[in-house]
Each structure stands twice: as structure tokens, then as C-alpha cells.
Amino acid sequence: MKILIYTWILGLFGLMVLVSSCEKKLDEYNPSGLTASTVVTKAAGFETLVNAAYSYDRFWYGKEEGVSVSEMGTDIWTSGSGDVYPQLTQYNNLQGSNTSSLNLLWNNFYAAINLCNTGISAISKVTDYTAAQKATREGELRFLRAFYYWHIAETWGGVNFTTQPTSGVVTTANRTPVDTIYNQIFTDLKFAVANLPATTTDYGRATIPVAKAFLARMYLTRGMNAEANTLASNVIKNYGYSLLPKFSDLWSMANLKNKEVIWAIDYSTNLANNDLTTSSYPNGHSRGSNNDHLLYLMVYDQVNTSTLIRDIPYGRPFNRYMPTLSLLNLFDDVNDSRFSGSFQTVWLANKASGTVKIGDTVAYCPKGTIPVAQQSAKYKTYDYAKVYGSTGAPIQNKFYISLSKFLDPTRTSIAEAQSARDVFVIRLAEMYLIAAEAKLKLNDKDSAAYYINQIRTRAAKPGRTAQMQITPAQVTLDFILDERARELCGEQLRWFDLKRTGKLISRINTMNPDAAKYIKDYHLVRPIPQTQLDAVTNKSVFTQNPGYN
């Protein structure tokens, strides 16, 4: 769904539940002639409201701020030399006053929820919708409200909660138990399942299988394993989704809309439609396009500037994040295609110089250690011994194996920071992994192994399917987390996976030496932005999360 919305509608309905001490005046432009009263009573205006409610997921998915909260501070990633949020990556002096990313995300999640609340409360007043249209649009808004509240509840815990729209500046906040928030999430998602259509011609809108898939994730999160398995299995069997034959096929820019994708953020190939240059959204931030392609790349253009220069195929290297040694060691690259389908280890000359021809190897980051005597003098080798120390902590964080599955060779220039790549929010492989985890927790290891083997069969290199199969005895919670890392690394789920399974601290302690030095029990939630604490007037009620004072 190409989200085309007017900035004035966001100013009208995207009001914050809690506001920071600094406010930015919106320059309102109303080309449609719509007013507040017609928005909530006429279909044309209400459609704009619903589109705007979808647009807030673009602050999180494919953005550095969302990635820093959902993938970093886990067992599988650590800081590259360009990391701008090391507090989130390593928990080093993490406070509510030193991470602007948390402020951005908090503000926009609450703006999104207020917009959903506004639409849900007003939809009965729309005079030119049919009953079916009202049910569909309310289903979408309830799905989105549940989606945004999940991010809030898991990120910050029991914080402000309301299902009523607000207008103007509200300076008090409540502390609502996480259980209460989840009760509403389940209510909203069940409504969505009952009222959404099974399919849509408007790619990116919520449908019944989208709502069921997300509800399966929520059931698993709350330990409702039988329900999680039932819904995940239902989505696998009944809606025409299928795993692509090859893992690498998922990441082709020519194949983004495929049968494995259940729900995606549909970024436009016309970058102007992705709000890149708009500055009058709430909080003064533009959404832009997908930035994942920037974040995980080593600075290959600093290896040898005579023979390897920045180009479009190799990407624009922001060097924010690098894999932990433990993540790399999870991959069996002899049998499993997901390592080569996810990571780049070789960079070839794209500029001739002296005896070096275009296409010659310039940089090699092998998965392992190569004896110095066997390393070529013709190119730079950054093996494990040159990247990671004896404890697994990086000894340098500029040159390393790079996550490449988000690269976009269709960008128009080497400086282009935006990508039209869709972000896969939910794909079918996750449903198999949800079903496997639920079955394990229901003491059915045979079924758990079956679901995992479906994923591993697709991941197998040609002729290596048998070597990729596992037995029921091999299925443990840690094995499933390993498998989720191999299948889903970088897809903005990891922090939530570790928190859900109770493994965040233990796996960081054993797999991520950078973060192990600092992580504490209270890091299971993030700090509330200090700007929000400063803005409220009931400071004795709405206080900082424990440990962050």
C-alpha cells in the first residue's frame, strides 16, 4: 500500500498522549478541503485517517531507531565503528536522557495509537460507508492499535494506556499493568480476525491471515502455546502462502512481493512518496524509505581506495552494526545456504590500478581463521583472528563479515540513503518457528522437529537436505533461538525473541562480550524518555522504570 497522506491530517489527529517540553508548530496545508468534521463523517476523510494510521509503522521498520531497539542489545549483534546508539547496543550507561531514538519511537507510537483511538471511536458516524466497509476499516484500526501497543508494552512495560482519543496537550499519564494492555491487544486482534477480509488488492493492508499471524506471535509471547500453534498452523495451511524454493530468492529486489510474505511495509519505488523530504510530520521527523541496507555494512571503501571504491552494488556503508562471533558460528555454511544468502565475505575490485584488474579480490572476510602463511599477499584478509579477540569481543569494528540480504542495487546513486525495498514484518518462515516453539513447550518434540525441518529443508544447499534434518531429541529452546537467528537475523525480532523466552541476559552473557559487561536484570525493559517524565505533572505516579533513575 503506497501511503500517500496529507501532512495536515497527521497534525489534526496525530496528537501526543504525552508531549515533550519542546513543541514544533505544523504548517498545515489542506489541498483536499477536508475539515475535522468531514474526516470523521465522510468516507474520503476517513480513508485518509486509516492510511495515516498505517504510516506510523515506518518510523520503526527499516529505520535505524527501530533496528537499534529490536535487533541490538542481543546475542547476535554488536557495535560497528559507526554505531550512534551504543547505549542500546551494549547497555553502557543506558538512560532515558541519552537515547534520542527512544524518544522518537515513544512519541510516534503514542501518536499512532491516538489516531487509531480517534478512528475507532468515530467510525460509527461515517455516513457513506456500508456496514461491511465500517467493519473492515475498524478491523484495520484495531489491528494497528494492537500492533503499536505490543511494541510499547514489550519495550517499556506497564506504561500509559488508553483506548480513548485525546485532543490538545495532555500532561498526566497512567501506569497500566502489562496484562491489561495485552487483554486489549487480544480483544482488538480477535475483532480484526472476525472482520477483516481474507485478501486485499491493496498490498500492505491488514487481512485475516495477517491478523492471525500476528495473534499467533502474541499468543506465543504470553505463553498461550496451544493457541499459538493453532493459529500459526492455520496460516501455514489455509491462505496460499508457501516458502520460496531458495532462501536467497527472498531478498531479490525483483521478487519482493512473493508468496512467503504475509505482511510487509510497502515502500514506493518513487522515493518522494515515502515522505523523504517532508518536515511537517509530528515531532519534525520524516519517515523516508527503508534504510536497512546501510546499517550492517563494513567500510569496504576504506580497504584500498585505489582498487575498491564505493559503488551501488556494494552499498553505502554506514558501519553501524557487526555480527557477534557467536552469530557467525551458528551457521553451518557447508550445508546451510542461509549464510551465503545473508552475508557478504568477498569484495572484488571495481577500479583497476597497477596489476589489479576489475574483478580481482581486494578484501576477504572468511568465516574462520586462516593461518598467516596461507593468506594471500594480493588482497586484505580479515579473518576471525583480525576481527575478534580470544573472548569473542571485537578487536576492531571496521572490517568484518557484513549482512548483505538488505542490499539494494537498484538505488540510483552511490550516495542514496533511501531504498525502495519492502520490509517483511511477518513472513511464513516465522509461522513454522512459532509452531515449533509452541509444540516444544507443549512437550511435543516430534511436531517441533517437523516444523523446524520444513525451514531447514528450504535452507539446505543442493544435495545437502539430509544433512540439514534434525531429530526430535535435538529440539531445545536454545536450538530454536539459534534457528531463528539463522533464518531471521536483522528482521527486527531478535530482542523480543530473547525477552519472550527468558534468554536475553543469559545469551548475552555467553554470546556477546561487549554487552555482557553492562547488562542487568532491569534491562528487560527500556528507559522511558526523560522528556516524557519532565512533561507530566503527576510525576509521583508516572515514574521512570526501575534501574534507570
Q: Find the mean pLDDT for residues 356-374.
A: 97
Higher pLDDT, 285 or 359: 359
| 322-337 tens-digit pLDDT | 999 999 999 999 999 9
Q: Which of 107, 25, 10 is nearest to 65 (CA)?
A: 107
Report the b/e string of 381-392 with b at 16+ CB within 10 A. bbbbebbbeeeb
In a domain, residue 246? The reply is yes
Rounded to 5 degrees, what angle do the CA atoms 353, 356, 359 make?
115
In a domain, residue 409? The reply is no
Percent of the chain with pLDDT over 90: 86
**Strand pairing category for 380-381 and 361-364:** parallel
In one letter, which amino acid is 318? F
In a domain, residue 185? The reply is yes
State yes or no: pLDDT of 42 exceeds 50. yes
Report the DSSP beta bridge partners of residue 290. 419
- In angstroms, the CA 384 to CA 345 distance is 12
Report the DSSP beta bridge partners of residue 394. 388
The residue from 403, 433, 464 where one domain ends is 403
- In angstroms, the CA 79 to CA 104 distance is 21
| 454-472 tens-digit pLDDT | 999 999 999 999 999 999 9
State yes or no: pLDDT of 224 exceeds 60. yes
The pLDDT of residue 23: 32
The residue from 368, 403, 438 where one domain ends is 403
Q: Are residues 142 and 208 in the same domain?
A: yes
Report the b/e string of 203-241 with b at 16+ CB within 10 A. ebbbbbbbbbbbbbbbbbbbebbebbbebbbbbbeebeb
Q: Are residues 71 and 132 in the same domain?
A: yes
- Residue 273 is given by DSSP the state G
CATH code, domain with 127: 1.25.40.390
The pLDDT of residue 316: 97
**Which domain, by its residues, includes 64?**
1-291+422-549
Q: Which of 176, 172, 168 is nearest to 535 (CA)?
A: 172
Q: Find the mean pLDDT for residues 79-97.
A: 95
Q: Find the mean pLDDT for residues 497-520.
A: 98
In a domain, residue 317? The reply is yes
- In angstroms, the CA 395 to CA 399 distance is 10
Q: Which of 106, 122, 104, 99 is nearest to 42 (CA)?
A: 122
The pLDDT of residue 270: 73
In a domain, residue 136? The reply is yes
Q: Which of 38-52, 126-140, 297-311 has the lowest mean pLDDT?
A: 38-52
State yes or no: pLDDT of 34 exceeds 50. no
The residue from 373, 403, 433 where one domain ends is 403
| 227-248 tens-digit pLDDT | 999 999 999 999 999 999 999 9
In a domain, residue 361? The reply is yes
Q: Are residues 386 and 471 in the same domain?
A: no
In a domain, residue 323? The reply is yes
Exposed/middle/buried for 63, CB within 10 Å: 0-12, 13-18, 19+? buried
Q: Are residues 320 and 379 in the same domain?
A: yes
Number of domains observed in the structure of the chain:
2
Give the per-residue SS3 of 10-33.
Answer: HHHHCCCCCCCCCCCCCCCCCCCC
The pLDDT of residue 289: 83
Q: Are residues 167 and 197 in the same domain?
A: yes
State yes or no: pLDDT of 352 exceeds 50. yes
| 99-111 tens-digit pLDDT | 889 999 999 999 9
Q: Which of 146-155, 267-276, 511-520, 526-535 has the lowest mean pLDDT?
A: 267-276
Which grid cell is 95? Answer: 538512560
Q: Are residues 444 and 502 in the same domain?
A: yes
Q: Are residues 450 and 476 in the same domain?
A: yes
Q: Considering the chain, what is the average pLDDT of its residues?
A: 91
Q: Are residues 479 and 375 in the same domain?
A: no
In a domain, residue 416? The reply is no
Q: Are residues 325 and 250 in the same domain?
A: no
Half-sphere exposure of 253 (CA within 13 A, CB side): 16
Q: Are residues 299 and 251 in the same domain?
A: no
Q: Are residues 146 and 37 in the same domain?
A: yes
Q: Are residues 255 and 152 in the same domain?
A: yes
